């Protein structure tokens, strides 16, 4: 072998080693593998009836809380075999107990796999519309329901679209319109992992209404929770892999303009907004690698983070709750209501906390 050829091979091997080492370091940073979790508990107890997770929770101003439960997510274990369910609970009740919602209409319940949710109240007649991201047979679609009586969801329609390839969460802005955040740009899991490894932010936020579907924001590594500010002027998106919350301003014609990102130091999942203060509350994953193994001896932890004054020059980011996974595994959402808090998880239980 010529000296030149040997040199070229050696250079290629060295370049590959540097690339592998960089990728490994990037992955370790992204997954917070060296982070130690210090437990910080609050006055919380388990909610009854929730044993298969509550990936997303949202609470209306009048105290009615909706849950999605039983998500099957790629590579993450599930403790329940059956299809997913929806629940409702009244936060005004002294001992809130979630009740399963009956689903009526044309939806295939045997493959129901509910993920992110959002609720829209039509002020014209006070009707309540429940939007649910659904992944039947690993697909990505949005179901719109009307909440009827005390415990029934009437299925109205299913929405799927090429710009909605891997929706994680949505925020409804009308009876049939919403913003959606995709957690993958490519439908392929392998290609998605490659974008994470290379640090290429390709995920998009999409606006949907009948007859008008378009990308309104991009440059996101992996989009997760999405929600609206109290005045409805701003959209918040959690870029879970980038450890921050992106703030966008809604402009005429439902265009989004990027304003800023607020670092949270954790992998934050869904976002809920306190209906009195406008504070953002997030369920986050402090050590997400443990989600994939879910070893009962070394379980994935839970973390709740709050952001106050997000639109000021100095947003205040505080850690409100931390568990090492022995109480609560894999928190995804923290929904505040009048000094109390509901906390949901991907596949574990849910908590009711009194912060007063």
Please answer whether residues 231 and 241 qualify as being in contact, where contact means their C-beta atoms are separated by less than 8 angstroms: no
Where do the H-state alpha helices sit in 60-107? none
Whole-number Å distance between alpha carbons of 263 and 311: 13
- Ligand-binding annotation for 227, yes or no, is no
Nearer to Ca ion, 240 or 256 (CB): 240
- Nearer to Ca ion among residue 47 and residue 282 (C-beta): 282
Q: Give the CA-trace dihedral at 250, 165, 31, 24, to 10 degrees.
A: -120
Piece of the chain touching Ca ion by CB under 5 A; list 87-95, 221-229, 258-266, 338-346: 221-229
226 assigned binding-site residue? no
From first CA to last CA, the distance across the chain in angstroms is 76
Q: For helices 189-198 and 3-30, what crossing angle results, to 10°?
A: 100
Query: Among residue numbers 69 through 108, which ones bind Ca ion (CB under 5 A)?
Result: none
Q: Contact, 47 vs 352, CB < 8 A?
A: yes
Tell whether 168 is in a known binding site. yes
Q: Could you tell me the smallest distance in angstroms from the CB atom of residue 21 to Ca ion?
A: 31
**Three-state SS at 2:** coil
Nearest C-alpha neighbor of 335 from the set 71, 38, 153, 88 = 88
Q: What are the residue ranges of helices labelled H in 122-278?
A: 189-198
- Residue 23 or 128: which CB sits closer to Ca ion? 128
Instruction: Show Cβ contacts of residue 190 under 8 Å, excluding neighbours closer than 6 positions.
Output: none
Cα 107–chain centre separation: 23
Of residues 229-268, which lie at the interface with Ca ion (CB under 5 A)? none
Q: Which is nearer to Ca ion, 224 or 287 (CB)?
A: 224
The answer to whether 81 is annotated as binding is no
Dihedral in degrees, nearest 10, Cα atoms 115, 258, 278, 60: -30
Question: Contact with Ca ion (CB under 5 A): which of 134, 166, 222, 224?
Answer: 224
Site residues for Ca ion, window 105-134 (CB under 5 A)? 116
Residue 34: CB minimum distance to Ca ion, A: 25
| Nearest-5° Cα angle at 86, 82 to 92 | 140
Helix, strand, coil % over all residues of the chain, rounded to 5: 15, 45, 40
Please state the closest distance from residue 95 (CB atom) to Ca ion, in A. 25
Nearer to Ca ion, 272 or 320 (CB): 272
CB of residue 304 to Ca ion, shortest distance in Å? 14
Of 21-29, 157-165, 222-230, 247-255: span binding Ca ion (CB under 5 A): 222-230
Asked if residue 55 belongs to a known ligand binding site, the reply is yes
Closest distance to Ca ion from the beta carbon of 225 (Å): 5
Does the protein bind Ca ion through residue 269 (CB under 5 A)? Answer: yes
Binding residues for Ca ion restricted to 272-331, rule: CB under 5 A = none
Instruction: Tell me, yes or no, if 275 is annotated catalytic.
Output: no
Q: Is 269 annotated as a binding residue?
A: yes
**Beta strands at 43-46 and 351-354: parallel, antiparallel or unpaired:** antiparallel
149, 128 Cβ separation under 8 angstroms: no
Restricted to residues 149-178, the positions that interact with Ca ion (CB under 5 A) are 168-169
**Residue 134 annotated as binding site:** no
Q: Which of 41, 93, 115, 135 is catalytic?
A: 115
204 or 269, CB closer to Ca ion?
Answer: 269
Cβ proximity of 142 and 159 under 8 Å: yes
CB of 350 to Ca ion, least distance (A): 15
| Residues that are catalytic | 115
**Which residues does the annotation place in the binding site for Ca(2+)?**
55-56, 117, 168-169, 224, 269-270
**Binding residue ranges:** 55-56, 117, 168-169, 224, 269-270
What are the residues binding Ca ion (CB under 5 A)? Answer: 56, 116, 168-169, 224, 269-270
């Amino acid at each position: 072998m010529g000296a030149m050829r040997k040199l070229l091979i050696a250079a290629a091997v060295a370049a590959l080693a540097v690339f592998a080492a960089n990728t490994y370091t990037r992955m370790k940073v992204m997954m917070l593998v060296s982070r130690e979790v210090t437990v910080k508990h609050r006055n919380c107890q388990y909610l009854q009836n929730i044993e298969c997770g509550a990936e997303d929770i949202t609470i209306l101003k009048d105290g009615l809380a909706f849950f999605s439960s039983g998500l099957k997510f790629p590579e993450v274990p599930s403790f329940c075999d059956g299809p997913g369910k929806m629940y409702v609970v009244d936060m005004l009740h002294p001992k809130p107990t979630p009740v399963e919602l009956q689903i009526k209409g044309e939806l295939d319940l045997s493959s129901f796999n509910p993920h992110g949710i959002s609720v829209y109240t039509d002020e014209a007649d006070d009707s309540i519309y429940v939007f649910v991201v659904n992944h039947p047979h690993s697909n990505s679609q949005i179901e719109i329901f009307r909440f009827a009586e005390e415990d029934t969801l009437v299925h109205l329609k299913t929405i799927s679209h090429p710009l909605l390839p891997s929706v994680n969460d949505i925020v409804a802005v009308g009876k049939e319109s919403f913003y959606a955040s995709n957690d993958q740009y490519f439908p392929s899991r392998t290609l998605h992992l490659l974008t994470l490894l290379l640090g290429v932010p390709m995920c998009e936020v999409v606006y949907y209404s009948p007859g008008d579907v378009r990308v309104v924001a991009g440059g996101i590594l992996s989009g997760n929770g999405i929600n609206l500010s109290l005045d409805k002027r701003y959209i918040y998106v959690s870029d879970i892999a980038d450890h921050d919350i992106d703030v966008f301003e809604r402009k005429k014609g439902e265009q989004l303009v990027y304003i800023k990102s607020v670092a949270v130091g954790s992998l934050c999942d869904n976002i809920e907004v306190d209906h009195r203060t406008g504070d953002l509350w997030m369920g986050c994953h402090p050590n997400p690698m443990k989600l994939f193994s879910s070893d009962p001896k070394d379980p994935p932890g839970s973390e709740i983070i709050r952001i106050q004054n997000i639109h000021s020059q100095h947003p205040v980011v505080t850690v409100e709750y931390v568990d090492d996974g022995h109480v609560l595994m894999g928190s995804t959402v923290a929904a505040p209501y009048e000094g109390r808090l509901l906390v949901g998880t991907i596949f574990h239980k849910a908590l009711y906390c009194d912060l007063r």
